Structure 1
Amino acid sequence: MAVVVWIVEATWTACVDAARTHTPAHADIVLLHVTPADIPGAAHGAFAGLLGRGHPERDPGTRLEHLAAASAQQLLQAAADRLDRPCTRMERTGRIEREIIVAAQGAELLIVARDGDRSRLGPRSLGPASRFVVDHAPCPVLLVWPEPAPGLKTMPPPPPRHPHPPHHR
Structure 2
Amino acid sequence: MHVTAWITEGTWPAVVDAARTHAPEDAEIVLLHVTPADVPGAAHGAFAGLLGRGHPERDPGTRVEHLAAVSADQLLADAARRLGRPCTRVERTGRVEREVVAAAEGADLLVLARDGDRTRLGPHSLGPATRFIVDHAPCPVLLVWPEAAPDIATIPHPPPHPPPPPHPPHHR
The TM-score with structure 2 as length reference comes to 0.92
1:40 and 2:44 matched: no
For residue 67 of structure 2, give the secondary structure of its aligned residue in structure 1. helix
Q: Over the residues paired in the alignment, what is the CA RMSD in angstroms?
A: 1.3
Partners of 2:154 and 2:117 in 1: how far apart?
11
For residue 8 of structure 1, give the secondary structure of its aligned residue in structure 2. coil
Partners of 1:26 and 1:159 in 2: how far apart?
48
For residue 40 of structure 1, give the secondary structure of its aligned residue in structure 2. helix
Partners of 2:112 and 2:119 in 1: how far apart?
18
Quote the offset at 1:29 in angstroms. 0.3
Partners of 2:154 and 2:127 in 1: how far apart?
18
For residue 156 of structure 1, give the secondary structure of its aligned residue in structure 2. coil
Partners of 1:48 and 1:119 in 2: how far apart?
41
Matches within 5 A, 1:39-78: 39-78=39-78
For residue 65 of structure 1, give the secondary structure of its aligned residue in structure 2. helix
**Other-structure match for 2:167:** none
Count of residue pairs brought into register by the alignment = 164
**Other-structure match for 1:112:** 112
**Other-structure match for 2:17:** 17
The TM-score with structure 1 as length reference comes to 0.94
Q: What fraction of aligned residue pairs are identical, expressed as a percent?
A: 75
- Kindly provide the CA deviation profile for residues 90-134 of structure 1, in whole angstroms up to 9, marking residues without a partner as x: 000000000000000000000010000000000000000000000
**Other-structure match for 1:89:** 89
1:121 and 2:124 matched: no
* Structure with max Cα Rg: 2
Partners of 1:158 and 1:53 in 2: how far apart?
54
- Kindly provide the CA deviation profile for residues 40-77 of structure 1, in whole angstroms up to 9, marking residues without a partner as x: 00111111121112211110000000000000000000
Partners of 1:158 and 1:17 in 2: how far apart?
34
